Structure 1
Amino acid sequence: MAEQPGAGRPYVPPRDYDHRDVEHVLGVRRWEGWEELLEWLRAEAINDPELSPDVFGPLRQDAERACARGAEFTSDAARLYQELRRR
């Protein structure tokens, strides 16, 4: 029987985004608000070599929720991270 692709690779558990990822996203360009950030997350973030799919997916979902609840957008990474994590 053939070995499964990737069978020899060590398991790397998916990771959630953290404050460093938020700092990176804020450093990509100067965002004017949620809509501009969300447009980038939906269309271009997948091509960002600094963001893995297991990071930008949850980040995008949390940004969608923050925008929908009318959260204030900020370019302060610590405050934005707190807002994104708020449920």
Structure 2
Amino acid sequence: MTDFMQTIYVILWGVLALLTFAVGIKQKAPYAFIISACFVFMAVWYALDAYSGIYMFAGTFGIVYKVVLGIFLVLIVGAYILSRRRGNKK
């Protein structure tokens, strides 16, 4: 991938993190903060891959990346389900 595209990815994940954080504050949605944290993680991961010279998507780092994203997925789904259940009780 070119340097330009890597920079675009870093900016994209950073902007998405800010937007979901703002939505989380406005909507008081707990899952939005988890999604925002996921986007921050991805922005940092892509920045490390783009600018440090370390291959962050190969080998052990690639496995760590996939495990962390799986954990975020479980947390996001769990928070969403809990918020929907609490909303239905009201």
Q: Give the TM-score range, shorter chain.
A: 0.3 to 0.5
Q: Which has the higher helix share?
A: 2
Question: Higher relative contact order at CA 8 Å, sep ≥6: structure 1 or structure 2?
Answer: 1
The alignment's TM-score, normalised by the length of structure 1, stands at 0.32
TM-score scaled by structure 2?
A: 0.31
